[in-house]
Amino acid sequence: MPNPSFALLLCLGLVGCMVGPDYQAPEIETPAAYRYADKEAKNLSNTLWWEQFQDPVLNELIRSALLENKDVKIAAARVEQFQGRYGETRSLYFPQIGLGAQGQRNRAPRDNGPVPLSSTVDPVYNNYQALLSVNWELDIWGRLRRLNESARADLLASEEGRRSVILSLVASVATSYVTLRDLDRELEIARTTAKVRGDSFEIFKLRFGAGTISEMELAQNQSEYQRTLASVAQFEPLVAQQENLLAVLLGRNPGPILRGRDLAHLTLPAVPAGLPSDLLERRPDLRQAELNLISANAQIGAAKAQYFPTISLTGLLGSVSNQLSNLFTGPAATWSYGVAADMPIFTGGAIAGQVQQAEAFQQEALLSYQKAIQSAFGDVENALVASSKSREQMAFQASQVEALRTYAHYARLRYDNGYTSYIEVLDAERSLFDAELNYTRTRGSVFTSMIDLYKATGGGWVTEADQLTAADTRAAQP
């Protein structure tokens, strides 16, 4: 029949109270709606939104990045670290069992104590031991449960951190690709304009040689030609640098990037629908921030539990013999069991300092969580207004480009017929060149603002991307 005191201690260890505050989700002040919400928004947060661009090359670039990007691999390794840490912490719930064996050969001094050894007694003897030890800390005050709660929250937070990396990576690849196609178009405009002005400059040189134009008009034409050549030289390294940036995101060495559709033929994704309160569930970085708060809150209880005794059950079972052949015989058996208690009396404020650190860290985590939520609301509002206004700006600039093309056409006719000076032609062509570049940049901004909006609102597409990565990884295995 088991000892009643041991049964009581065991019950206390299993159902004991937990010291420290239980986690309660903080109250969050959530706006009822977004200020710049789009009336045509659609519920697309759970779809692979980048496929709406209808560019197979972009789809493949994102797939490649999810498989090969080093930040994703680093985040996955970090999750493995926290899984190991959680397993280590959880193991403290269970008895710690160890096995030890020892063999010794000793010689006792003959002048040993008050009675010397007899000359007939051999001072040399052997000692063999085989012992099974058990130690089990009873979690009466909930210290181990608080540590386990904290470790589990840290593990889940690391997983949300990995999902945050996926969210940022997909947005970064899409943005970099749109920027690359934007720069490609600007370089194309610069090269086309340089070709036209180069041909014009050759004609002006012939006309100057024939004496039909002045040297000033020749110099004016040459200056605009050189200006467009300088623009070409400006855009070429930008294109190469953007290719290198995108290659690194794909987990490759810097190098050229395959192109798909040009910027003018990419399809603009629809505006995703959602309420501000949805962000708390859709954004992995916000879930990560709350899990960090849960972990910090549990650490307060673990720190406060150090004020109370640590009680452990100990046991020993084994054999001790002077002869190896008799080690496992009946007379060699030995056993013991007991209870060990350890309670701090005076620590010089060490435990109080640890509790203060845990409480301050919890406050830091709480404020970080609240700040992350406010920043998330701001991200969505900024993306919404940027998406709306950039589309308006692009419409105005499209009309401006058409108007300037008409202006440049008639300015050239007026100059050829002697009604105006070449300065008017230069002004019209310069304005058209700048307007075409600005229109292309705004078109790129329209796409990047929509990408920012999908990134800011989060959603189930992160899970879809995560599953896509796992599926591709399994398919790549032999």
Q: Are 57 and 259 in contact (CB under 8 A)?
A: yes
> Above pLDDT 90, what percent of the chain?
60
52, 267, 327, 384, 387 from 446: Cα distances, Å: 14, 11, 83, 11, 6
96-107/310-321 β-pairing: unpaired
333-342/124-138 β-pairing: unpaired
Quick one: how far is CA 45 from the chain centroid?
19
Q: Are 300 and 115 in contact (CB under 8 A)?
A: no
Query: Among 26-35, 323-332, 469-478, whose mean pLDDT is lowest?
Result: 469-478
Tokens, residue 292: 């960090």
Other beta carbons less than 10 A from residue 250's beta carbon? 23
Task: Please determine, for residue 478, whether its predicted confidence score (pLDDT) is greater than 50.
Answer: no
Phi, psi of 69 (to 5 degrees): -60, 135
Task: Please determine, for residue 6, whether its predicted confidence score (pLDDT) is greater than 60.
Answer: no
Mean pLDDT of the chain: 88
* DSSP single-letter state for residue 328: T
User: Sign (positive/negative) of CA torsion 54, 58, 64, 69?
Assistant: negative
The pLDDT confidence band at residue 399, using thresholds 50, 70 and 90, is: very high
Q: Are 358 and 143 in contact (CB under 8 A)?
A: no
CA neighbor of 368 nearest in space, from 302, 462, 294 = 294
Q: What is the pLDDT of residues 70-93, one digit of tens each?
A: 999 999 999 999 999 999 999 988
Q: What is the pLDDT of residues 345-380, one digit of tens each?
A: 988 999 999 999 999 999 999 999 999 999 999 999
**H-only helix segments in 134-263:** 143-209, 215-249
The pLDDT, as a whole number, for residue 477 is 47
Q: What is the pLDDT of residues 443-458, one digit of tens each?
A: 999 999 999 999 999 9
The pLDDT, as a whole number, for residue 323 is 73
Quick one: how far is CA 464 from the chain centroid?
16
The pLDDT confidence band at residue 9, using thresholds 50, 70 and 90, is: very low
Highest average pLDDT, of 32-36, 121-125, 431-435, comes from 431-435
In degrees, rounded to 5, the angle at the alpha carbon of residue 158 between the alpha carbons of residues 153 and 161 is 125
Q: Can you give the pTM of this predicted structure?
A: 0.85
DSSP-assigned states of every residue in 453-477: HHHHH--THHHHHHHHHHHHHHHH-
The pLDDT, as a whole number, for residue 121 is 65
Query: Among 21-35, 61-75, 364-378, whose mean pLDDT is lowest?
Result: 21-35
Crossing angle of helices 143-209/422-457, nearest 10°? 170
Crossing angle of helices 461-476/56-68, nearest 10°? 70
Is the model more confident about 156 or about 33?
A: 156
Collapse the DSSP code of 119 into the 3-class scheme (helix H, G, I; strand E, B; otherwise coil) and give the result: coil
In degrees, rounded to 5, the angle at the alpha carbon of residue 202 between the alpha carbons of residues 200 and 206 is 115
Structural fold of domain 12-95+139-307+350-476: Outer membrane efflux proteins (OEP) (1.20.1600)
